[in-house]
Structures are given as C-alpha cells and as structure tokens.
Chains A and B, each alone.
Chain A
C-alpha cells in the first residue's frame, strides 16, 4: 500500500505516564492503542470528542510531535513523524501541521504586537521576503476577516477573545499548512463567537483544502462541522465513524450517556430521569477490561475481565462487547 496517499496515519498509538516515586509507581495509560487515518486528497474535519481526562489532548500533542508516544507510529504523507531527527525534516513537518490552542488570551505574549508573530513566522520559514511581507500577511488576514490596518499597531489586550482566536488561526495559516490541529479552540468563547470560529473552519476546509482535527467536548459544534468523529473514553477510542451516524444513532453505551447529557436547546425537551455521578477518575483508568464497565447500564460479566476488541458495525468502529 502506498502510504503517501494518506495525509495522516495514526497507528496503534499508546502513551503511558508514570506517577509517584520509585517504590510506589502508578502507571496511567493516557492513550491506549488508538488508530485512525485521514485521506490526502479529500480535506475533512475530524472531531475527537471526550471528557477531560480522556486523553484527547495527549493524542493531539503526540500527533504534533510534542510528546513521544510509548509505542506506535504517526505517519504524515508516508513519513514516520516519531522518527524525525534532522532539523530540516522537522521544519518541513511544522510547515504542514500547525496547532491552535485552547486559550487565545495565553497564546500571545502581552508585550508584543500581534503582527510581529505573523511577520516573524513568515520570515523565519522564508515564506515571504521583506518586500512583499505586508501584502502576504494582509492576504492571510483576509481569510479570517481582518486586515493589516486593523491589526498592525495593536497589542493582544486590545482585541476581543473571538478576534484573538481568529488571529491565532491566522498565525497557523501563515505557513500554508495542510493539517490544523485545534485543541478545544472554542471552549473559552461565547456561543455566538463560537459559531464564527467554527464557520471559519468550515470555510477553510471547503475553499482552501485544509484538513482539521477538531478536539472538543462540545458535541453540538462537532456535529455541525465535522465529517467523521471519534469518541474517546479514558484513553480508548470507543466509537469512530461518520458524525451523522455516531451522534444520531449511537451504538456504544458511553456515546449514549454523552449524548443524553447534552442539554437540548428546546424548552419542550427537558431532561427526564437522572444520571449517576461520575466515579473517581483514577479508578476508571486502572480498571481491567472495559473502562466504562463501572457506569455502563448494559454491563456483562465479560466486560469486567477482558478489554473489548474493535468491531465494525453499521459503517463504523465500536469497541464494545455488545457488538461482538
């Protein structure tokens, strides 16, 4: 198989963190055996959804090559990212894969003008030269709905949260990446501003061929923009497939619990029934067998002993003993 047709292959990625001292070491599997692929010639928005502590940020950091995985491989256009050694290769990778972080207020140094980030990125990677710098930066800013006149003399505190998040997207776009990894890009923003960022992602995908990995815990926006979705729970991808199928007809019991918990924006559909309070996080991480067995409404004997295998049902991957 020619791997260069795939934009990104995440293959059996596992990350184990150790905590505690030498004698009382506790191993915590933050990401457990995660695999998925993204096509190169078909841009898509791939959502990774889960609670805090589900390992979604660790996975993003592994893809960005900021954290070394314990085992497994990340292949970007056929090249193994985990084996990058030379500086030249590293720069090539950084030109193609760019991060967008959660808190726009912390992304920028408050003492620097925002435009210096854009100028410096463009100059450092030799994407523009001094003579056409302004024009180049202005073109990128036009993508996010701002212009160089509005941005040039201003410091981070002079922008609103929504504008800052747009500017951090502009910073990522300067290098002309083909993959953006956005880690909770809208969780610090208001609902109305959220939509402007989310719509921007949609436009980047449709008109500029940028693929996006959208990490969030907001299922409603994930449904709105993404093509495929992966549901993560305590380090495992428990369900992965087309977003319409996964969120309208969830198969895994955890996906159902997650969907149940979202408040519907319709006053006639109020919550009915009660849910159990979540258990203690560490306990779930160290559970043998299926991590969700402690809270699962349809738990069986086998769930407590053996970890479920991936099975393919109804066009998607599910990790649950119910679908064996």
Chain B
C-alpha cells in the first residue's frame, strides 16, 4: 500500500526585496511514492532541496516557500491528508503529530533552554489530549521512556544538562509519543559522533519494528542509508534523479551523479584513490537549462543542454532521469 504519494510537486522560494524578485527553485517537479512500513532514504548534497522537500511533505509551508504546482497525499486507509494544489485551489490540510511527526535538522537546539524536559513533554501532550491528569501524564511518560530505554531522570533535566546524543534521543521520544504512522527525520545524526550516531539510528529502527511505521530518512551520508534504508531516492539540484532499491543503488547505479556519489565513498580496508565530483552544485535561483547535472557530467550530450530528462522506469522498480537510459523528457510530459 502506498502511504505517501508526491505528485509533480514544484515548491519555490519567492522573495521580493527592494523591488528585486528572486525565485529559488528548491523542489522542481518531484514525484515519489513511499510504501507503508518501509524506510525510504533521500540523499543529496547540501542545498539540493532535500530539506525543502521534507518541509513540503510535513506541511510546514510558510512564505517565502510556496507550492506552485502538484500535491502531496497521505493515505492512511480510512483517512487521507492533502497538501498542495487540488483543482487549482491551494489546500493545505493540517498534519498532526498523531499521524506524521517530524525530527528537524539541528534538532539539538530545538528544545527550549529554559524549560525542563518534563514541561516540554507536558506542553505537547496537553495540546493534543485535553484534560491530561498529572498522574496519567507521569504514567504515560514512564512507559514511553522505558520502552525507548531512556532513563526517567531525563525529565527533570534542562536541555543543557544533557549530552548531544541524549538530547537527540529525547527529541525522538517526543516525536514518537503518539505512535505516528510516518516519521520524517531530516539529518537526525549529522552533529553526532559515530558511536552515538549508531545508538540513535538503532533507536529509530527499534521504534519502527515495534510500531510498524514508515520512516523517511534524509541524509547526505550514503553509508547510513546502506544500513537503514529499503529504497533510496537520489536528489540533485531540486530534482530526483534516481530511485531504486538500496542494493541497486549501490551495486548498479545508473545516473552519472549517483555513480560519482557511490564511487567517492571511502571504505576502511581500501586505500585506492577516490575522486570527488568535478565542479560545484548549481545555484538554484538560476539553474542550468536542460538536465541540471550536465555542466558537471562527463557523458553530457547535446540533448542534455536543451531538455530535462523525465524520471522513468528502466528496470522494475528502478527509476532514472537521464538521457543515457531513456529518451523521454519532462517537456513531453505536459
């Protein structure tokens, strides 16, 4: 069953400062489908639009970010949530933490420094469930923290008294207290050490095994995705360029960008030269014409400079947007 469908979403940042209009095409024509109970990874360089995509999915769309086209649909069986343009009208339905929760980037600084962790949890629970008794709250908290293996003493600490890993785990506890169907995690471990990183990822995996939720994991670290994800979408300059099962991405990457990305990962036990991707990522306020990767691509052809390739199936479940594998372009789609 498809729990989340992203249908040709275009989300741009539109600013108008001192008469200068600027449009940053952070998410441009992205379509994705996420299955129920799977771990879907989104990988890409910084400023490729992956965080913007997560913002759209989680429904936190605030100006200057605007949805130009397309929609996001959650399907929970008996209930669905729409975000985006429906019949030309903007319709952004409320996404509650009971259904979809969001672990933001740099969530280390999300906790209010002058509130005890207990009060932060109490605030959250009170706003979702009216008339929360103190005793009922204590009981829920105890059960929840125990099931995550967190010491109950966390509740009585201020955020600065907790280490980075403990803070991150407290935030995960906060995000999972309502047992949401979908968890969106945006770079959940980018500021953590390897050992702590592993314990945080282990926690996310355990929660998933227990609650049977869908996990969407955004990161630039391909090694994490190799360990965690079932399927991976590779994002480059606002577009998804390849979607496939994790094994296919690592063993048989098809898009030139994915090939570079996989080949640049250093491995312990292998000292052979690793090359970085030539050039620099484009400015999304003024992206190159045609395929956005063509200025850096060693296989660029004439057509790549004019037309933008369409993400389409190459083999079963393996989608690639590149003229090397298919002739179809986005311009022919509309």
Which single member of A191, A263, A281 contacts B227 (CB below 8 Å)? A263
Beta-carbon contact of A160 and B223 below 8 Å? no
- Identify A195's interface contact among B169, B196, B266, B269, CB under 8 A: B266
Q: What chain A residues lie within 8 Å of B165 (beta carbons)?
A: 277-278
Q: Are B250 and A266 in contact (CB under 8 A)?
A: yes
Please name all residues of chain B whose beta carbon is closer than 8 Å to the beta carbon of A217 when the two chains form the complex: 193-194
Interface check A120, CB cutoff 8 A: no
- Residues from chain A with a CB closer than 8 A to the CB of B246 are 267
Task: Name the segment of B52-60, B81-89, B257-265, B320-328 touching the other chain.
Answer: B257-265
> Closest CB-CB distance, B285 to chain A, in whole Å?
13
Contact call A191/B196, Cβ cutoff below 8 A: no
Is A271 interfacial (CB 8 A cutoff)?
yes
Known: A247-B268, A266-B226. A190 touches B195 (CB 8 A): no
Per-residue B-contact encoding for A277-313, CB less than 8 Å = 1, 0 else: 1101100000000000000000000000000000000
In the complex, the answer to whether A163 meets B268 with C-beta atoms within 8 Å is no
Are A220 and B195 closer than 8 Å at their CB atoms? no
Supposing A190-B46, A281-B163 touch, asked if A262 and B247 sit within 8 A by C-beta, the answer is: no
Q: Mark A173-199, 1 if CB is under 8 A from B, else 0.
A: 000000000000000001111111011
Which of A191, A247, A277, A280 contacts B222, CB < 8 Å?
A: A191
Contact present for B193 and A51 (CB under 8 Å): yes
Residue-wise, chain A 230-271 has the 8 Å CB interface mask toward B (1 for contact) of: 000000000000001001100000000111111111111111
Interface residue? A323 (CB, 8 A): no
Question: Do A220 and B277 form a contact, CB below 8 Å, given A275-B195, A278-B195?
Answer: no
Contact partners of A223 in chain B: CB under 8 A = 266-269, 271
Q: At the interface, yes or no: B276 with Cβ under 8 Å from chain A?
A: yes
Q: Check if B140 is an interface residue, CB within 8 A of chain A.
A: no
Determine whether B5 belongs to the interface, using a CB cutoff of 8 Å to chain A.
no
Interface residues on B, range: 35 or more
**A271 and B202: CB pair below 8 A?**
yes
The residue in chain B whose Cβ has the minimal distance to the Cβ of A274 is: B202
CB distance from B78 to the nearest CB of A (A): 34
Chain B residues with CB under 8 A of A51: 193-196
Interface residue count on the A side (C-beta < 8 Å): 46
Query: A221 at interface (Cβ–Cβ under 8 A)?
Result: yes
Q: Give the shortest distance, in Å, between A203 (CB) and chain B (any CB).
A: 11
Q: Residues of A contacting B224 with CB < 8 Å?
A: 263
A219 is an interface residue with CB less than 8 A from chain B: yes
Is the C-beta of A224 less than 8 angstroms from some C-beta in chain B?
A: yes
> Residue A129 at the B interface, CB < 8 A?
no
Residues of B within 8 A of A192 (CB): 45, 260-261, 264, 276-277
Chain A residues near B201: list those with CB within 8 A: 263
Query: Contacts of B45 on A, CB cut-off 8 Å?
Result: 190, 192-193
Given that A160-B280, A224-B271 are known contacts, is A261 also in contact with B149, CB under 8 Å in the complex? no
B90 on the A face (CB < 8 A): no
A residues 208-222 with Cβ under 8 Å of B? 217, 219-221
B contact residues around A72 at 8 Å (CB): none
CB nearest to B245 among chain A residues: A267
* Docked pose: A281 CA to B247 CA in angstroms: 38
Say which residue of A224, A257, A260, A267 sits within 8 Å of B226 (CB atoms). A267
Q: How far is the CA of A162 from the CA of B199 in the complex (A)?
A: 29
A contact residues around B247 at 8 Å (CB): 267-268
Tell whether, in the assembled complex, residue A263 and residue B223 are in contact, meaning their CB atoms are under 8 Å apart.
yes
In the complex, chain A residues whose CB is within 8 Å of the CB of B195: 51, 257-258, 261, 275, 278
B194 contact from A194, A219, A248, A270, Cβ within 8 A: A219
What CA separation (Å) do A195 and B46 show in the bound complex?
Answer: 15
B197 in the interface (beta carbon within 8 A): yes
How long is the Cα–Cα vector from A191 to B149 in the complex, in angstroms? 32
Known contacts A191-B220, A244-B271, A265-B250; 20 further A-B pairs (Cβ under 8 A) = A52-B164, A161-B46, A191-B221, A192-B260, A193-B45, A198-B266, A199-B276, A219-B268, A220-B268, A221-B266, A247-B268, A263-B201, A263-B227, A264-B267, A267-B227, A267-B250, A271-B198, A276-B199, A278-B165, A280-B163
Can you list 9 contacts pairing A with B, beta carbon distance less than 8 Å? A51-B193, A191-B265, A193-B45, A196-B276, A199-B275, A220-B265, A263-B226, A269-B226, A281-B163
Sort A-B residue pairs by CB-CB distance and give the 10 closest, nearest first: A196-B276, A263-B223, A195-B276, A224-B266, A51-B193, A261-B198, A220-B266, A265-B223, A263-B227, A261-B194
